[in-house]
Homo-oligomer: A and B are copies of this chain.
Amino acid sequence: MTGDGGVLRGFARLDIHRSARTGEPEVVFGEGKTPDQVASIVSRLLADTEDPVLVTRATPQQAAVTPGVYDPVGRTIISRARKTGAIAGSVAIVTAGTSDLPVAREAAGTLDALGMAQSVTPDIGVAGLHRALEAVPTLEAASACIVVAGMDGALPSVLAGLLPLPIIAVPTSVGYGAAFEGLAALLAMMASCAPGVAVVNIDSGFGAAMHAMRIANAQ
């Protein structure tokens, strides 16, 4: 049907136009794939595109056979990155505890691949409030703040009151019992008493980075 074909070609074109402008990377979700599958998808992407190429939730086994730089904490393989500064602005990533670090590093690795400056400030949870307070002057300079917290998910509320930035809250599955695999943090962040907080999926450092990148791009 001619009309439909027009529709579909139209959209393919639209999609390419958007890709070029937003610079969203080609991302491979490593979980559940064999090392060979990861390696072959990455090789194809490197050959067929000029985009940044990133693997998330990557295992050491996948990293061993895949070209790129592996971060064993953030579980990312960056197989091709843009130059830092390709996207203007910078993202301040903070964590409530040290166990939240893998999620923060996933966000950091994603931004690295995209070519956007980032910094990670770990372990400034609200139980020792002076740590968050000390960090404020440094964090203020960023274009957005990714706040990674499990358990009670209280840190985004506190930082939203101290910083004028868009706060991207990432609940983590850190904690036990009533933390219910991140549900407590997720609900607390959604119900935050502080305006300016928006929330992404549990443990999704990648999702937070993508929202941050779009913020930078939209300016």
Residues of A bordering B, CB below 8 Å = 1, 3-4, 6-15, 18, 21-22, 24, 27, 29, 31-32, 89, 96-97, 99, 125-130, 133-134, 136-137, 142-144, 150-154, 157-158, 160-168, 171, 173, 175-180, 182-204, 206-208, 210-211, 213-215, 217-219
CB distance from A169 to the nearest CB of B (A): 8
CB distance from A217 to the nearest CB of B (A): 6
Docked-complex contact B152 and A157, CB < 8 angstroms: yes
Q: Please, which residues of chain B bring their CB within 8 A of the CB of A175?
A: 191, 193
CB distance from A154 to the nearest CB of B (A): 4
Docked-complex contact A198 and B219, CB < 8 angstroms: no
Given contacts A127-B195, A152-B192, 9 further A-B contacts (CB under 8 A): A11-B129, A96-B193, A126-B126, A152-B188, A175-B193, A178-B182, A190-B201, A196-B207, A219-B219
Q: Please, which residues of chain B bring their CB within 8 A of the CB of A134?
A: 8, 11-12
Docked-complex contact A203 and B176, CB < 8 angstroms: yes
Docked-complex contact B8 and A161, CB < 8 angstroms: no
A187 partner, pick from B21, B163, B187, beta carbons under 8 A: B187
Docked complex Cα distance between A22 and B22 (Å): 27
